[in-house]
Amino acid sequence: MPHCEKAKHIAKCLELAILLEVSADKPGNVNFVVGFEGTRVEHFLASAVATREAFEEAANRGIAISCNRLKVENAGVGELIRACAADVAAWQKGGNTLIGTIMLFAPLAVAAGMTPMRNGGFDFIKLRRNLKLTVESTTPQDAVYLYEAIEIAKPSGLNGAPDFDVRDPKSKDRLLKEQVSLFKVFQIAAGYDDICYEWVNNFAITFDLSYPYLKQQLERTNLNTAIIHTFLKVLSERPDTFIARKVGVEKAREISRDAQKVLELGGVETESGRRSISAFDRKLRSSDSLYNPGTTADLTAAALALCTLSGYRP
């Protein structure tokens, strides 16, 4: 596949993953049936389309790295995240929709560009190795760009940073002065944010939990069910860090236990499971979005990205 076509292919795979994730009726999340005040499914659809240019540029930079035309430390992952966040903000009026997903997908697009394709997909061992190299090679300037991306997206639940608080206007100057890379920033935050945890642990949740489970589900059931069950599986094993930052770790653990009970009842494939999901969904939505498992949705999107990159098509 020519390089220009490869970059477009990667971008389309990631865009499709976002569209598939929002299309499923996941409890507590925006979907085609219900949204939150000010944020509805059309905002996510517009956001997905808006990401493609930045993801294509990310893939092109990965290709340039693989051809020794660009050093990996110059991939500009932070700049790519900021550009993508700006594009998303320009194309819809629903507020923050995808900043967590973008933070996962931008380095993934670079790494995919670096990785040779084989039989229409990617060798995930090589992809993961390149992903590790990409995130560990980020710079202090990447960190500054990420902070600017967060300022654009304006996500909620930013409290609790022990250092380099994104809300502190002095943080960006400190990042440059103290030469703190984006990877180091994520090391600081990995204990209370699973997006950062993924960066620091070579996307362990995505590659070792959510993707294998999703792949298994897709072999035995329909897409919507597979996505919902994968979402519940991740939530049952990883208390949502977005919820934890908003209302505390114990409440996040309670919600994870609820997700486990839904799966034990059969999820959407049994009558009792469906009743349980409906009750769970009402509980999550009754909190005025405080119990929105947003990080879990991002991790589910990442699993779908691996599926689409490996050749899955709905």
**Paired tokens of 227:** 């996505």
pLDDT in tens, 118-165: 888 999 999 999 999 999 999 999 999 999 999 999 997 776 677 888
Rounded Cα gap, residues 9 and 162, in angstroms: 39
CA atoms within 13 A on the CB side of 279: 13
Asked whether the predicted pLDDT for residue 71 surpasses 70, the reply is yes
Would you tell me how many other CB atoms lie within 10 Å of the CB of residue 23?
Answer: 17
**Paired tokens of 309:** 């990159």
Rounded Cα gap, residues 164 and 59, in angstroms: 29
In a 3-state reduction of DSSP, which class is residue 118? Answer: strand
pLDDT in tens, 4-45: 899 999 999 999 999 999 999 999 998 888 878 789 999 999
Please, what's the largest Cα pairwise distance for the chain? Answer: 58
Helix 211-218 and helix 294-309, axial crossing angle in degrees, nearest 10: 60
53 Cβ contact list (under 8 Å, min separation 6): 11, 83, 87
The answer for 30, left when phi > 0, alpha when psi is -120 to 50, beta otherwise, is: beta
Specify the pTM: 0.96
39 phi, psi to nearest 5 deg? -135, 115
pLDDT in tens, 196-217: 999 999 999 999 999 999 999 9
Q: What is the pLDDT of residue 156?
A: 79
The β-bridge partners of 122 are 117
Q: How confident is the model at residue 271 (pLDDT cuts 50, 70, 90)?
A: very high
Domain residue spans in the chain? 3-309
Q: What is the pLDDT of residue 289?
A: 65
Contact indicator for 229, 268 with CB cutoff of 8 Å: yes
Rounded Cα gap, residues 213 and 209, in angstroms: 6
Q: What is the pLDDT of residue 5?
A: 95
CATH 1.10.4200.10 fits 3-309, yes or no: yes
Rounded Cα gap, residues 10 and 62, in angstroms: 11
Q: What is the pLDDT of residue 146?
A: 98
Asked whether the predicted pLDDT for residue 287 surpasses 80, the reply is no
Q: How confident is the model at residue 288 (pLDDT cuts 50, 70, 90)?
A: low
Q: What is the pLDDT of residue 160?
A: 62
Q: Own/partner pairs for 68-77, CB < 8 Å, 24+ apart? A: 72/114, 72/133, 72/134, 72/137, 73/137, 73/138, 73/139, 75/110, 75/134, 75/137, 75/138, 76/142, 76/145, 77/106, 77/107, 77/110, 77/134, 77/135, 77/138, 77/142, 77/182
pLDDT in tens, 79-115: 999 999 999 999 999 999 999 999 999 999 999 999 9
Q: How far is CA 94 from CA 17, 27, 263, in A?
A: 20, 19, 31
